Amino acid sequence: MTPLTHLSHANASLGTSNLYCSTTLTLPFAMNMTKSLTELANQYGTDKGTVGPVRTWGAHNYTDIYEAYLERYRLSALTILEIGLGVTGDRWKAQIVTGRNAAGGASLRMWYDYFPNAMIYGIDINDGSYLNNDRINVFIADQGRVEDLEAFVKASGVAEFDIVIDDGSHRPDHQQVSLSFFFKLLRSGGLYFIEDLRNNGIGDGATIRGNVSRVQNTRRVLKHFFEHGAFLEPHALLDANYLEQHIDYMRFHVPQVAVKTVMRPIPRRIIDRVVYFQPDTESVCVIRKK
Ligand SMILES: C[S@@+](CC[C@H](N)C(=O)[O-])C[C@H]1O[C@@H](n2cnc3c(N)ncnc32)[C@H](O)[C@@H]1O
């Protein structure tokens, strides 16, 4: 894979050999630098890891995928945006704010620890400003409203992002509006991740809160471009031409392999457990900008 040569690398000279041995690191910081993204996810209780906020929560295991793309930039001075922070409020009852994640904002805490030199921006329909610190900046914005996204960009003063992660409403129209808007602000070589592509929209049996049937499921819209060079309609993309011209590559991932039990018919007993791929189960995608 071509490295993200255009990402800002103010601290790249540190090199990976300094990751675990710098004597200038404070102890908690040094401890976190030895943790994988999955360990941090599980510590804070985002469902991007393997355990989620509580034992009964179905976690996604996206962190393996993120780490495969992002580990090499761990010390880089990235500008990261996450849409949807897991903060609860009047506008969205965020059920993920429970257990290990009782304070909310688990994924921002995870990114903060994983990327010690990154500036981390977050937007949410609820107020998550209590998460703000020296490198976290949170704003209220509805990811489906361009006016809100413009106001966020103006208020934050950010001109370009290296990485954008969409873990917001998961509505396909919202995902597509946000992709259209933020892809223009993605640095050349930057990466745009969209989570939970399976849960909504035309062409997808599963539904969640806010499901709308006006547009195609985002996975189908994007896969159609991937396979045929044009986005499947109806979609909510605002400037499909720009996307078509600036997408370098698009990859789809199935983070949880399904395990099927193979039974002997008579007498019925288990003879094997096999992992298998279910078509159309790609639930996260990464899009790289040219
Ligand atoms: C699944 S939670 C995010 C979890 C968090 N990223 C994590 O991994 O811990 C979804 C979040 O999206 C927010 N949200 C819902 N609709 C939104 C919208 N239209 N715009 C922005 N954020 C939204 C909710 O308030 C909630 O905090």
pLDDT digits (tens, 9 = 90+) for 100-136: 999 999 999 999 999 999 999 999 999 999 999 999 9
Sign of CA dihedral 273, 278, 283, 287: positive
CATH class of 12-289: alpha beta
| Substitution candidate for ligand 1 out of 50, 65, 100, 125 with most atoms within 8 A of CB | 125
Cis previous bond, 265, omega within 30: no
pLDDT of 151 strictly over 90 = yes
Residue 55: Cβ within 10 Å count: 8
pLDDT digits (tens, 9 = 90+) for 191-241: 999 998 876 777 665 555 556 668 888 999 999 999 999 999 999 999 999
**With contact defined as beta carbons under 8 Å apart, do 216 and 172 qualify?**
yes
* Residue range 260-274: mean pLDDT, rounded: 75
Write out the two tokens for 210: 């806010």
Averaged pLDDT of the chain: 85
Q: Is the CB of 87 under 6 A from ligand 1?
A: yes
Residue whose CA lies nearest to ligand 1 atom number 27: 86
Q: How far is the CA of 123 from the centre of ligand 1 (A)?
A: 8
* Residue range 260-264: mean pLDDT, rounded: 76
pLDDT of 4 strictly over 50 = no
Residue 146: Cβ within 10 Å count: 14
- Secondary element (H or E) of residue 268: none
pTM assigned to the model: 0.86
**Which band of pLDDT confidence, cut at 50, 70 and 90, is reported for residue 23?**
very low
Known catalytic membership, residue 60: no
| Substitution candidate for ligand 1 out of 46, 65, 85, 97 with most atoms within 8 A of CB | 85
Question: Measured between alpha carbons, how far is 121 from 252 in angstroms, rounded to an integer?
Answer: 25
Residue whose CA lies nearest to ligand 1 atom number 16: 169
Q: Is the CB of 168 under 6 A from ligand 1?
A: yes
Sign of CA dihedral 186, 189, 195, 197: positive
Higher-confidence position of 253 and 190: 190
Q: Is the CB of 166 under 6 A from ligand 1?
A: no
Question: Measured between alpha carbons, how far is 18 from 138 in angstroms, rounded to an integer?
Answer: 30
| Substitution candidate for ligand 1 out of 92, 146, 176 with most atoms within 8 A of CB | 92
| % the chain with pLDDT above 90 | 64
Segments making up each domain of the chain, as ranges: 12-289
Q: Is the CB of 111 under 6 A from ligand 1?
A: no
Reduced to 3 states (helix: H, G, I; strand: E, B; else coil), residue 188 is strand
Atom of ligand 1 nearest to the CA of 104: 9
Q: List the beta bridge partners of residue 123.
A: 83, 139
